Structure 1
Amino acid sequence: MSSGEHAGAESPELLLVTGMSGAGKTAATAALDDLGWFVVDNLPPSLLMDLVTTVTDRTDLRRVAVVADVRGGVFFGELRGALDRLGEHGIRPTVLFLEAGDESLVRRFESARRPHPLQAGGRVLEAIEREREELASLRAAADTVVDTSLLNVHELAERVRAAFSGPEVGLRAIVVSFGFKYGLPVDADMVADMRFLPNPHWVPHLRTLNGRDAEVSDYVLTQPGAEEFLNHYDDLVGMVSQGYLREGKRFVTVGIGCTGGKHRSVAMTEALAQRLRKQGIETLVVHRDLGRE
């Protein structure tokens, strides 16, 4: 639930977990359960207000996560109206949306040998496309989007813990290094391009190293413009963090990219994360494409 402008202190914190089928909602809710959240799976949206009313007076149920997705069939279509009714009572759930690429989702369904909820005898890829269309507006309004395409269950649990582990006292961040040749991180709220810096790939003794190695880090961080970028981007994240908090958004993903995600983006991600931590922003570092050829 968002901050005091939306709901009274007596109301529970409410998290709506949704997203693509096969994107990891089971693993995410298991992590939430481990963190002490009371998790309700596949609740008909029309019962959301009843659930909030039921738990409001329970001092042992202050953090409630509700999973709602297309498995609900016709009931899922009631979600928008249910959220509007919550809003009329000053309640705005935080929305966690789990995403994954088509290739990853198809592979997961084939591995599990289970049909997609919207498949109805057709091709799984067609069902995924229909689901994306149905969830488009919900994804656009989500507070936190996590792309699980390249995450294992342990990495997904780490993302969930980073976002929802404790009292919301400030902004939390994930800084992700990536290679543009592998595509943008779809869950990034902000993206910066490090290709304006010289590429260590073309320096023979640095080519086989990566941005976590001191030699590469020193090379990247001493290039003209590197320090200036960090100064300005550090200030930018600090500036927008207050706006995020006012809007009830307490989790931000920052993508730092270079060509292959090995040298420049990795070094700058580590450096930016250090600066954000000095601001008091709890920060997790992820090197998405490190190790890929």
Structure 2
Amino acid sequence: MGQEHVGELVVVTGMTGAGRSTVAKELEDLGYYVVDNLPPALLRDVVRLVDESRGTSQPVGVVVDVRSGSFFESLEANLAQGTTGRSTTLVFLDASDEVLVRRQEAVRRPHPLQGSGRLLDGLERERKVLADLRSNADLVIDTSALNVHQLTDRIAEAFGTPDTTGLRVSVISFGFKYGIPVDADFVADMRFLPNPHWVPELRPSTGRDPKVAEYVHSRPGAAEFIDAYVPVLAGVAGGYLREGKRFMRVAIGCTGGKHRSVAMTEEITGRLVELGFEARSFHRDLGRE
């Protein structure tokens, strides 16, 4: 094509009901030219038309969904390196079957692969078709515990500055009793530290409170963990960049996601920022108790 492409291409796919339409709207708000429900075979044609009509600096977002067994092969062929000339990010949206069923029933729509069977049958077929695609995605977002605003925040965090070429690190606190984030690249368990929940004057506060943070960081093993763990994350981040991976999600857990994980998440995020990484903290379960 002979042109330098500045605008990136974001391809959004994933499970039916996991939030593709929400992501499409947010990308559009971020200045992307968005095409929803695009057949994979037309991907390169859309990029070419945008190049000609809007210029190569225009970022493009396309949303594709599963309709047939050849879905993955068709999308893979049209995403092959160099075919669009753009820096491409493949985003896969997922959620638990329970959540997907609830969302589909709420909108009273059948699953595209359901046929004459149950909704769960359609989800099972879809997971099989998309299994390889999910494993090859650049960014996997589990929307099970996310509301619309939290999902749009995740997309804005990832694509709000399309000219950023560095690694984007998300550090999320969570409570093990609410489940481990399935889209995390790393999971660390802070339950080896004493729980501020059992200190009456600290119990009502969260890990954001300076007194709670001071308590957590002063416990035996806390400083040693931070000093050892942050260099590991920094080293892996460098490898991710060399391999073209631009997102890293680190989950820090404790029992309820209120004290220890929150305090340690804030400290890890701050350390990564000091090292020059684009890092942000997110507290998934804060306020759930």
- State whether TM-score is above 0.5: yes
Cα deviation code 1:166-224 (max 9, x no counterpart): 11231112111111222210111111111121122222332332212222211101111
Aligned mates of 1:244, 1:230 — CA distance in 2: 21
TM-score w.r.t. the length of structure 1 is: 0.89
Aligned-pair distance for 1:65? 1.2
2:42 matched residue in structure 1: 47
User: Out of 16, 20, 25, which is 2:15 matched to?
Assistant: 20
1:4 matched residue in structure 2: none
Q: Which secondary structure does the structure 2 equivalent of 1:188 belong to? A: coil
1:228 matched residue in structure 2: 224
Asked if the contact 1:12–1:55 (Cα under 8 Å) also holds between the matched residues in 2, the reply is no
Distance 1:30 1:89, change over 3 A: closer
1:263 matched residue in structure 2: 259
Kindly report which structure 2 residues correspond to 1:1-293, keeping only aligned pairs within 5 A, or say none. Answer: 9-10=4-5, 12-57=7-52, 58-59=54-55, 61-70=57-66, 72-73=67-68, 76-77=71-72, 78-84=74-80, 86-87=81-82, 93-166=88-161, 167-293=163-289
Taking only aligned residues, the RMSD between alpha carbons, in angstroms, comes to 2.2
Distance 1:279 1:240, change over 3 A: same
Show structure 2 runs of 5+ residues with no match.
none
Aligned mates of 1:61, 1:123 — CA distance in 2: 45
Show structure 1 runs of 5+ residues with no match.
1-6
Distance 1:126 1:137, change over 3 A: same
Aligned-pair distance for 1:74? 5.9
Aligned mates of 2:204, 2:118 — CA distance in 1: 43
Aligned-pair distance for 1:61? 5.0
Aligned mates of 2:255, 2:208 — CA distance in 1: 16
Q: Which secondary structure does the structure 2 equivalent of 1:285 belong to? A: strand
Aligned-pair distance for 1:12? 4.3
Cα deviation code 1:56-78 (max 9, x no counterpart): 454265311111111x4466352
Aligned-pair distance for 1:54? 3.2
Aligned mates of 2:84, 2:143 — CA distance in 1: 33
Asked if the contact 1:192–1:256 (Cα under 8 Å) also holds between the matched residues in 2, the reply is yes
Aligned mates of 2:29, 2:84 — CA distance in 1: 29
Aligned mates of 1:8, 1:125 — CA distance in 2: 46
Aligned mates of 1:274, 1:92 — CA distance in 2: 29
Aligned mates of 1:56, 1:236 — CA distance in 2: 41
**Once the two structures are aligned, what percentage of the paired residues are identical?**
56
Aligned-pair distance for 1:11? 6.4
Aligned-pair distance for 1:51? 2.6
Q: Which secondary structure does the structure 1 equivalent of 2:79 belong to? A: helix
Aligned mates of 2:13, 2:247 — CA distance in 1: 16
Asked if the contact 2:10–2:91 (Cα under 8 Å) also holds between the matched residues in 1, the reply is yes
Distance 1:15 1:278, change over 3 A: same
Aligned mates of 1:209, 1:89 — CA distance in 2: 51
Asked if the contact 1:168–1:250 (Cα under 8 Å) also holds between the matched residues in 2, the reply is no
Aligned-pair distance for 1:148? 1.1
Count matched residues. 285
Asked if the contact 2:208–2:263 (Cα under 8 Å) also holds between the matched residues in 1, the reply is yes
Aligned mates of 1:21, 1:136 — CA distance in 2: 14
Cα deviation code 1:217-247 (max 9, x no counterpart): 1110111121122122222222222222222
Q: Which secondary structure does the structure 1 equivalent of 2:114 belong to? A: coil
